Amino acid sequence: MTSCPASAVTLTLLEFKVTADAGQDVNIYSFNFGAILSDNATATDLYISNITLYNKADLATPLNNRVATSTGGAAYAASTTVADSDFGKNDVSLSRSGDIEVFHDTTSTVMDIIPAGTIVTYVVKAAVSGSAQYDSIIMRVSDWSTGDKNALRWGDQWVAGIDSTYVKVLPTDYASLSR
Ligand SMILES: [Ca+2]
Ligand SMILES: [Ca+2]
């Protein structure tokens, strides 16, 4: 567990690994994250912005350029650029649970390729603003719904857009930040 900052600062919200089978490269199209922001009753508005996915080995190169968010299981709002992305903003003292999908251009565009037989550690970073005592942020890899298993949308060298049903072990533990 890491401490939320008193002023806006970029933090790692989640770290997880994806392994490609030795058989062939794995194309990654998108990830979806379940997020819960607990925004305690204060005058400050806890929110995250600039939501960015990286390969941990290259923190200089964002993998996504688009972010789509959904609150409380509702449909996703139109996607935004990373720079315009936020979650939990403009709702002071109101906790938010929802989904954050990251991709490059579209959810059917290859965002990253994991070479056969290798493991990539991904990290999700975002700017955390307005945190106050007792606030917390938790995030994990998860499906938007049972009807859209988009925790990880991937493909092999023949088939695109395979859903998370066909992932051997989905890393779904929550990571948490709190004050
Ligand atoms: Ca607050
Ligand atoms: Ca808020």
State the distance from the centre of ligand 1 to the C-alpha of 111, rounded, in angstroms.
34
Instruction: Report the pLDDT value the prediction gives residue 1, as an integer from 0 to 100.
Output: 46
Q: Is residue 23 part of a domain?
A: yes
pLDDT 10s digit of each residue in the chain, 179 long?
456 665 678 999 999 999 999 999 999 999 999 999 999 999 999 999 999 999 999 999 999 999 999 999 899 999 999 999 999 999 998 999 999 999 999 999 999 999 999 999 999 999 999 999 999 999 999 999 988 899 999 999 889 989 998 888 888 899 999 88
Angle of CA points 42, 128, 68, to nearest 5° = 110
Please state, in angstroms and rounded to a whole number, the distance separating the CA atoms of residues 73 and 34. 10
Give 42 Cα–ligand 1 centroid separation in angstroms.
4
Which residue range is the domain that position 50 belongs to?
2-159
d(CA 111, CA 129): 27
In a domain, 173, yes or no: no
What pLDDT, on a 0 to 100 scale, did the predictor assign at position 172?
A: 86
Q: Flag whether 175 is in a domain.
A: no
CB atoms within 10 A of CB 71: 15
- 29 CA → ligand 1 middle, Å: 34
- From ligand 2's centre to the CA of 57, what distance in Å? 31
Please tell me the total count of domains within the chain.
Answer: 1
Q: Is residue 168 part of a domain?
A: no
pLDDT of residue 29: 97
Q: How far apart are CA 140 and CA 127, in angstroms?
A: 17
Planar angle of CA 61, 67, 70, nearest 5 degrees: 150
In a domain, 179, yes or no: no
